Structure 1
Amino acid sequence: MTTTFALMYTYTDDVALQDEHRSAHIDYLRRLVDDGLLVASGPWGPDDARGGLLVYRAEDRAAVQAIVDGDPFVTNGVVAEARIREWVPLLGPAAGALTSQA
């Protein structure tokens, strides 16, 4: 059974480091989308601290942690903090798709 997880990244202040590794990070995330693991991803708004939110459908928290461990933003020191939280969407157009057993 798959579960929905929210991954919250906080980036370091090193914008040049982020820019250097952005292509590899995006390529990595595109593969996760193609594999059906990553549902949505994007950065926080321009007035918020640097970082982003990624929503995964995975078997368990360990599977998401393995994804985090392989992310070029993590392996190259762009991410200062990564927080994984199980998420149970209850309402809204996407809630049914995110909680289905399919």
Structure 2
Amino acid sequence: MTQTDWLLSGVGCLLLVLAVQFFRGNWLFLIAGYNGLSKEQQAKMNGRALGKSIGSLLLFVVLGIIVTRFFPQLVYWTLGLVGVATFATIMFVNTSKKINS
């Protein structure tokens, strides 16, 4: 394995651990802006739904890493799809009534 393979494997494992913890509703303090909210604003926000949304995005990124590992010719398609998924997740989190109650 080359150094790039080791790096991608390490980043993929780290993102997988983060995704699982976000799905469980833990480690939400790592999401930018969530920790800066007051306790009242955090109580109004559905942290579990926020964690599931961000966890889903991270799982999609891990899937992208796996795809590019085995099919290097799809790296640009994967980057494009991850970019679109990131944009869609940001829009969903900011406009969802389920998260921002």
TM-score by length of 2: 0.33
Larger radius of gyration: 2
Higher strand content, 1 or 2: 1
Which one scores higher on RCO, CA 8 angstroms, separation ≥ 6?
1
